[in-house]
Structure 1
Amino acid sequence: MASAAKMSARPEKLPAEILLKIFSYCSYSALVTCIPFVCRWWQEVWKDRTLWRCIVYRPICDRARIKYLLKLSPQFHAIDLSSCDLDFSIVETMVQCCQDIHQLCMPMHAFWDYVKSKDTPIFSNIKVLILTLEQHSSNDLEYLGDNLPNLEHLEFQSHFCTKADLIYFLEKKKHKLRTLGLYCITSDGYCVLPLLSVCTNLNTLSLREFCGNVRNRHLESVLQLRNVSSLALQYSSGFFFWGRVPTFTFFPNIVELQLYDYTVVGGDPFRVVAVNCPLLRKLSFHRSSSLQDRSLGNLHYFQKLTSVSILNNHCITDWGMQQLETVPELTYLDVYDCSKLTVECLKIICNFRNLQVLKFDLGHWDSPIDLKAGGDRSLQLNVSDIKNRALHLMFYRWRDLTTFDHLRKENIRVTMLEDKEETLGKSLLL
């Protein structure tokens, strides 16, 4: 009877530290739509800033509910309004109630419309600012340079700044900026790379619409950016001659390389990149449709490579994945929306000797799949198939939590992940 009484203890009696631990395991949707409305005590604990330090608030509900949640002020640390049906009142509520915002992502027009309606500077505590979607007029970079003293990370997702605007802004922030994402060519036709040489502390650089108009003489200027360790390139079209694509001789210190819409054109490009990037540890391909099995076979040239991500690829097959076993230090592998991979590939990857984390997409198979029984569309993933017991298996787009109970009982870690398209967001940097 005593144990039954303990089991029926009311949840509002749990101490704050236990509730915070429980909340940290909850899904994002539960955090913003359910937990704050259970009781007053849960709502108070829900406001704790430690809970929100690593969570991005992305509202998907109606305007009234968004404003209500903002007014509760649960110490939101990061807010993404890029997909929200914004109006002026939502932005105003956010500015008034959420004083702890350090990261903000929102449409450019909404940001500038609100900024220009006020006589005093706002968003002064922002460290990370991502402005999405709309093109805009010039001279607005002056506001960012003059009125955001804590700004360290900036990304433009539209082709909006002129050469003069960018020069003014970079002169103001040249020693402060750590991360910068923008179009490779200014709105008036100038390459931005020579202008970036003043940013002495820049460590993360994202260039959109990287194209054949970028010449070696432009790239030579970035040799001064010795601190750049993370580089993201989004290409402007699907076809390039290799001579027009950088061989990364100008980025010798990069540790992380992200390639979007990248086209591999003949030869053995990864050997050249490996020679020029001896420190590279993380390599990511997103929507690189020409990346094929033979290309992956060349990744063994990267002697320090520990992480590989291949997202939205419909050319790579099981044989290509098998080539990754030759990458000597590979510990992390993410394959999302790679439709030609079969369930047999999963068994192969599970036995990579050094692999610690595998993220695998089960979403392109028809549900439900019988993962234990035989059949052409069954996984048949048994404990005996996983010789690497240190591996953490993480599956995208799979809702049946009981499917892998037979693995969990043998202390094999299995985690279900949300659809990666929802978690990637629109930023190349954050």
Structure 2
Amino acid sequence: MYLPWYLQACRIDSHMTSSPPKRPNSQRSEGRLDSKMASGSERSGKSRIAGEDVTEMRVGIDDLPDEVLLMIFSHLSFSELIDVVRNVCHRWRRLYKVRKLWHNKEYHIGVSKHCDSDSCRCGTNEREVIRTFMNAPYLRKVHLWQGVTSHVIYMLSARCLKLLELRLPHTQKLTHLMLDNLFEKCSQILKLRISYTLLSSEKCVKAVTHLKYLRVLDLLARSREENSGTLMLPPGVLRPLYDGCPRLARVDFGCLHVNISDLWNFLNAKRSTLEYIRVKWAMDRTSCVPPLLTVCADKLKRLELYDYNLARRVASEAFTALGSLKNLWELKMSLNRKLPRGTAALAFTTGGLPKLRNLYIWYASGLDDDTVVAIIRGCPALQILAIRDAHLVSDAAFCEISHLEHLETELKIPGCVGDPKATDGLAERMPDLQICGSIEAEQPALEAAYCESDTEL
């Protein structure tokens, strides 16, 4: 049996002798051992013979207590635990199943590129996958990147009862009965990443309610057509989650449309637990999401809004509602369309966001100087400010950044267009600030074309 070199070294017994080896016990009177001394020598590894001083010590890895062995095993890879430790001896076979050895182990099925550490293992054929499920009952994290047969899903639910994290791909075919059995058996799952196609009916969503400890639910899209938002979840599909999954703290709706009334009822039901939400700015051009989020204002700490597609008449309502989320720690948003001047600033003017630490604004074509100034004045706790692809940013906006006492980590401004000298003085006033990127000079022809292409929604 192959063993890693460090385990081979540990299993080599070290012999220390201070006199010739023990002679055969030819005479009963001379070779008789004292019973007390014999019992002591069995524990200490030493033996004594009448008339001679003989000391023999045999020390190996098998003399270590279970606690020390488990400490050694905790540094082994997933494959070494399964392929080596399990096959050494009965004691090691018992110890390799200890739960704490598996808390960081991940099993990926179908794609090996995600296995970038020793704590990961990849299975490519179903026989190997089933064998792994049988030999790793305390496996915590399983990621499926391709569809598998129902037998594999059955073995997963039958063997991996301590599963904490599960990813199911959009190609996986599951009935609501299979989902019900899976989530009923693996009821300790904390993080579930699943294609929304597997939750396209109330019966399938009801199966998720078996996960009483679920904290993270990510709904994945499967194609560019779905990412564009052409498809939406059927009305009422989230209804079973209103009372189910009482510990749900993070929801990522992916690039999907959700029925606006269904979304409102869901947010209202989870207002005391939701801390992170990733969702579109609007489910359609007039049904903006930020006003719905105000019901979660007390608990909500992280928010990501993407695919800005609001009509101008509701834009001010959306940003005003965003400014009422006073407990936000992190805000990510894309402003990929031109906004009326000062509209985005509404999120930071009425008292601002006093607890905001990280602000990321991607595709900030709708950002103006008024918004930058409002951010600086309304977010005094800001530590990371990232603005990407902003137009017409002047030095008048950035000259006030030095007032942000906590902005000692990063200022990211890649792709911004405006005054290239706008950030020149920051290096002197804030020597600890890391400035990533630079502001490019404005090109009048391109800017004129950009303004002409800006049509009112």
Q: TM class by shorter-chain length?
A: 0.5 to 0.7
Is the Cα contact below 8 Å between 1:193 and 1:222 reproduced in 2? Answer: yes
**1:277 corresponds to which residue?**
379
Q: Is the 8 A contact 2:323 2:347 kept in 1?
A: no
For residue 259 of structure 1, report the CA deviation from its aligned partner: 2.4
Tell me how far 1:298 sits from its aligned partner: 6.6
Cα distance between partner residues in 1 of 2:435 and 2:107: 24
Deviations 1:101-143 (A, max 9, x none): 2112222223557962987843332111111115432222112
Residue number in structure 1 paired with 2:218: 130
* Cα distance, 1:195–1:293 mapped onto 2, change above 3 Å: closer
Q: How does 1:337-348 map to 2 (within 5 A)?
A: none
What is the rounded CA distance, in whole Å, between the counterparts of 2:93 and 2:384 in structure 1?
40
Change (3 A) 1:300 1:7: farther
Alignment of 1:311-326 (within 5 A): 313=414, 325-326=427-428
Q: Does 1:39 align with 2:85?
A: yes
Sequence identity percentage: 17
Q: Does 1:307 align with 2:409?
A: yes
Encode CA deviations 1:323-357: one digit per residue, 9 max, x unaligned: 764574847x696xx799xxxxxxxxxxxxxxxxx
Question: Which amino acid is 1:216 matched to?
Answer: S
Shift of 1:93: 5.0
User: Could you say which residue in structure 2 is the equivalent of 1:193?
Assistant: 290
Q: Which residue of 1 aligns with 2:18?
A: none
Distance 2:337 2:95 in 1: 51
Alignment of 1:190-339 (within 5 A): 190-199=287-296, 200-213=298-311, 215-235=315-335, 237=336, 243-246=342-345, 248-249=347-348, 251-253=352-354, 254-263=356-365, 265=367, 267=369, 269-284=371-386, 288-290=388-390, 299-308=401-410, 310=412, 313=414, 325-326=427-428, 328=430, 330=432
Cα pair distance change 1:5/1:242, threshold 3 Å: closer
Gaps in structure 2 of 5+ consecutive residues: 13-60, 63-67, 87-91, 112-121, 164-185, 227-231, 440-457
Computing the radius of gyration over CA atoms, which structure comes out larger, 1 or 2?
Answer: 2
The aligned counterpart of 2:278 is: 181
Distance in 1 (alpha carbons) for counterparts of 2:153 and 2:394: 47
TM-score by length of 1: 0.58
Alignment of 1:161 onto 2:258: yes
Q: Measure, in 2, the Cα distance between the counterparts of 1:327 and 1:175.
A: 42
Relative to structure 1, the CA distance from residue 261 to residue 153 in structure 2 (aligned partners, 3 Å threshold; closer, same or farther) is same
Runs of 4+ in 1 over 6 A off after TM superposition: 4-7, 11-14, 117-120, 291-298, 318-324
Give the match's secondary structure for 2:307. Answer: strand
Q: 1:193 & 1:8 partners in 2: Cα distance?
A: 62
Change beyond 3 A, Cα 1:297–1:201: same
Q: Per-residue CA shift, 1:266-325, capped at 9, x if unaligned? A: 64753331101111123345xx244899788874342211332749x5679x99998764
Q: Structure 1: 5+ residue runs without aligned partners? A: 24-30, 341-430
Does residue 52 of the first structure (1) align with residue 103 of the second (2)?
yes
Q: What letter is aligned with 2:374? A: V
Q: Provide, for residues 348-369 of structure 1, a one-character-per-residue CA deviation record: whole Å limited to 9, x for no partner.
A: xxxxxxxxxxxxxxxxxxxxxx
Distance 2:237 2:421 in 1: 51
- RMSD of equivalent CA atoms: 4.5
Give the stretch that moved more between structures: 101-110 or 248-257.
248-257
How far apart are residue 184 of structure 1 and its match?
Answer: 1.6
Matched, 1:9 2:10: yes
SS at match of 1:271: helix
Task: State the TM-score, normalized to the length of structure 2.
Answer: 0.55
What is aligned with 1:109?
Answer: 197
- Take 1:46 and 1:307, find their aligned partners in 2: how far apart are those partners? 43
Shift of 1:190: 0.8
Q: 1:210, CA displacement in angstroms?
A: 3.1
- Deviation, 1:260, is 2.8
Partner SS for 2:320:
helix
Offset of 1:229 from its aligned partner? 2.1
Aligned to 1:353: none
Structure 1 pair 339–225 and aligned structure 2 pair: CA distance change class (3 A): closer
